[in-house]
């Protein structure tokens, strides 16, 4: 089987720009918020469509504690093991039930 490097690079170029379009991220954030509404203890920031573009994503700021700040979580009385399980469950549901793959799960997200 022959695979053309030039066709792979062309497809890569198209997909990279699709992935960098913040309107797509806005759409995904709305889908995730709709799918977890009422069943998860996770808050998804509101996205402001009227001022979001392909290069700028405008969302609510939601203050919180990063999951990597174990000391502060424990000081606030948060069960870190339960928190980890809840987040794992949410990500697995997103992937298996809601057909959404979150490709950037870092503490700031």
Handedness of CA 70, 71, 72, 76 (dihedral sign): positive
Give the model confidence (pLDDT) of 18-41 as tens digits.
Answer: 778 999 889 988 998 888 887 767
Q: What are 59's strand-pairing partners?
A: 47
pLDDT (mean) for 72-101: 91
Please identify every residue annotated as catalytic. 104
| C-beta separation of 61 from 45 below 8 A | yes
| C-beta separation of 88 from 77 below 8 A | no
- What pLDDT score does 109 carry? 66
pLDDT at 43 over 90: no
Give the separation between CA 80 and CA 62, rounded to whole angstroms: 20
- What pLDDT score does 17 carry? 81
Percent of the chain with pLDDT over 90: 39
| Secondary structure letter of residue 67 according to DSSP | T
Domain-by-domain residue ranges, the chain? Answer: 21-96
- What pLDDT score does 40 carry? 66
pLDDT at 61 over 80: yes
Task: Enter the pTM of the model.
Answer: 0.71
- What pLDDT score does 73 carry? 96
Give the separation between CA 105 and CA 101, rounded to whole angstroms: 10
């Amino acid at each position: 089987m022959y695979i053309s490097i030039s066709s792979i690079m062309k497809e890569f170029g198209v997909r990279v720009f699709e992935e960098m379009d913040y309107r797509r991220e806005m759409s995904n954030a709305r889908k995730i918020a709709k799918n977890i509404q009422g069943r998860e203890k996770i808050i998804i920031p509101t996205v402001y469509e009227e001022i979001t573009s392909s290069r700028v994503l405008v969302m609510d700021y939601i203050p919180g504690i990063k999951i990597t700040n174990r000391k502060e979580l424990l000081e606030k009385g948060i069960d870190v093991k339960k928190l980890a399980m809840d987040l794992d469950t949410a990500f697995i549901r997103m992937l298996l039930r809601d057909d959404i793959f979150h490709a950037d799960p870092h503490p700031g997200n």
